[in-house]
Amino acid sequence: MKGMLLVLFTLVLSGCAKTQVHLYGRYLQPEQINSVSEALKAAGYQVEVNNLNFPGDIQQSSLIYSLMLKDVSKLDTVLGAVAEQGWYVNNISAMVKGNHWYTKDSMGLFLLPDGVDPTNPTAPENLSFLYQSVGCDKAPSLQLFPDNTFRIQPVADVPFEADWHQGSWELKESVYLTLTPKADKTWSYYLQVERRTEQDQLGKAEVIHLTPMRTYLMFGTCNFEYGVRS
């Protein structure tokens, strides 16, 4: 009897499970993410938002779905829900784009605003990450935001006010990053930008490496890195 109850309970859970939509929010404003998420939830979907890079061959708004999708009519429901929010998706593909796989009852929704090129390495959206310190025993971090502002979590006991920790950033000649603090707009931190592919036991990773071009008390002896597995 207990065994039969367990089977019935499992079937009820399976039947109630919602189709999952992975919403790629890298190029969206917070209010856009919220409106799309709420529309999808209202349509009966479970929404998971991430900030991952787009696969290299996606250059327009796209819907990628698992071959294990239980009901393909759900594709039309998702497209209708996002269309009501002003997003029109013309590229619909099955199974995989790059290394982004969708298993079970799930989809990947990539929304790309007009004028944004996900393949342009110098675009603000493609440099806007939280960079962690490397090569030192301290733990500062550097956050670059898509609106070309930055925030530094400095090394401990740095005698600078908060306006030295934040300000605006700019990429020059594709390889030089300047951070201009609010405290003094005539002065900047300078870092060199290097992109490279690294290999370890888990596979390949695409890494952006930032190296301060002089010694700054704010950073100590640290460099900064952001990486994502390809």
Report pLDDT for 24.
92
DSSP 54: P
Q: Do 175 and 83 have their domain in common?
A: no
Report pLDDT for 229.
67
pLDDT tens, position by position, 122-150: 888 889 999 999 988 878 899 999 889 99
Number of domains into which the chain is organized: 2
Q: Do 130 and 167 have their domain in common?
A: yes
Q: What is the CATH number of the domain that holds 39?
A: 3.30.70.2390
> Radius of gyration (Cα) for the chain, nearest Å?
22
User: Does residue 44 surpass a pLDDT of 90?
Assistant: yes
Query: Can you read off the two tokens belonging to residue 209?
Result: 């490496």
User: Does residue 97 surpass a pLDDT of 70?
Assistant: no
Boundary residue ending a domain (110, 133, 156): 110
DSSP one-letter string for 124-179: GGGT-SEEEEESSSS--EEEE-TTSEEEEEPPTT----GGGSEEEEEEETTTEEEE
Residue 194: inside a domain: yes
- Tokens 């951070």 appear where? 179
pLDDT tens, position by position, 106-125: 899 999 998 888 888 888 88
Chain-centre distance for alpha carbon 128: 9
Report pLDDT for 99.
54
Boundary residue ending a domain (110, 143, 177): 110
User: Does residue 158 surpass a pLDDT of 80?
Assistant: no
- Distance between CA atoms of 130 and 14, rounded to whole angstroms? 37
User: Does residue 1 surpass a pLDDT of 50?
Assistant: no
Q: Do 128 and 223 have their domain in common?
A: yes
Q: What is the mean pLDDT of residues 75-80?
A: 95
User: Does residue 11 surpass a pLDDT of 80?
Assistant: no
Cα pseudo-dihedral 83, 86, 90, 94, rounded to 10? -60
Other CB atoms within a 10 A radius of the CB of residue 208 amount to 20
Q: What are phi and psi of 198, to 5 degrees?
A: -115, 150
Q: Do 94 and 133 have their domain in common?
A: no
Q: What is the CATH number of the domain that holds 148?
A: 2.40.128
Q: What is the mean pLDDT of residues 60-86?
A: 91
Q: Do 87 and 136 have their domain in common?
A: no
The whole-model pTM stands at 0.68
Contact predicate 196/223, CB 8 Å = no
How far is CA 88 from each of CA 78, 110, 112, 163, 212, rounded to the nearest angstrom? Answer: 11, 11, 10, 41, 42
Q: Do 137 and 70 have their domain in common?
A: no
User: Does residue 16 surpass a pLDDT of 60?
Assistant: no
User: Does residue 96 surpass a pLDDT of 70?
Assistant: no
Residue 36: inside a domain: yes
Q: Which domain holds residue 52?
A: 18-110
